[in-house]
Structure 1
């Protein structure tokens, strides 16, 4: 009887651990580093891959040291406008797709990036 009880508790504990693991928030493992127009360097560790992340002060250059790609936006809400749909991936457009382990620098006349979202897949 004691062996069955212990085995049942162990099996129940394994089920709980697996269920909890399935409900955890996923993160883009690594660091996103950006430089503000005022030359301040900001580092963000393992951001959530489910949210829109604002970049206070804006960003003129961004380095993506995470395992996931990110999309940079020139607005604070991670929203593409109709104009941005055609300009996706173009520096100075409404958004910019930045691959993992890649960087992008400011282009004169461009608005600073104000937010980013994680595309996902690697974390």
Structure 2
């Protein structure tokens, strides 16, 4: 038995809606992390939830996602006493300075 066109159209729209809803849990794009000139990590479509530790200390981060991020000097996305996170807007980059220390993790900034 063949499905009617309206039923097929509604099914397609429903599947598209489910796919788009699933994508909202990710920051679409890529984050690259370097220590000097050495590539440390390339993270594609990171989750918007939780903390993302880098595999090594990082001196430069390039945020090519559609979300802003927060960089931390701790591996668990916490701010040490007297310290703070660094905000990096979408489609931009930042470099660590000696006074702040190296970065060890990031999270997606609340919108």
Same fold by TM-score greater than 0.5 = yes
Q: Distance in 2 between matches of 1:59 and 1:14?
A: 44
**TM-score of the aligned structures, taking structure 2 as reference length:** 0.73
Higher helix residue share: 1
Q: 1:6-42 CA distances to partner (integer Å, 9 max, x unpaired)?
A: 58965884686367447625311111111126x4212
Consecutive unaligned residues of structure 1, counting only runs of 5 or more, are 85-92
Please tell me whether residue 76 in structure 1 is matched to residue 66 in structure 2: no
Tell me if the contact between 1:69 and 1:99 (Cα under 8 Å) persists in the aligned partners.
yes
Higher strand share: 2
Q: What does residue 114 of structure 1 align with?
A: 104
Equivalenced residue count is 109
1:98 is aligned to: 88
1:31 correspondence with 2:21:
no
15 and 109 in structure 1: CA distance in 2 versus 1, 3 angstrom threshold: closer
Q: Identify the residue that residue 51 of structure 1 maps to in structure 2.
A: 50
The 3 A distance-change label for structure 1 pair 43 and 18 is closer
CA RMSD of aligned residues (A): 2.9
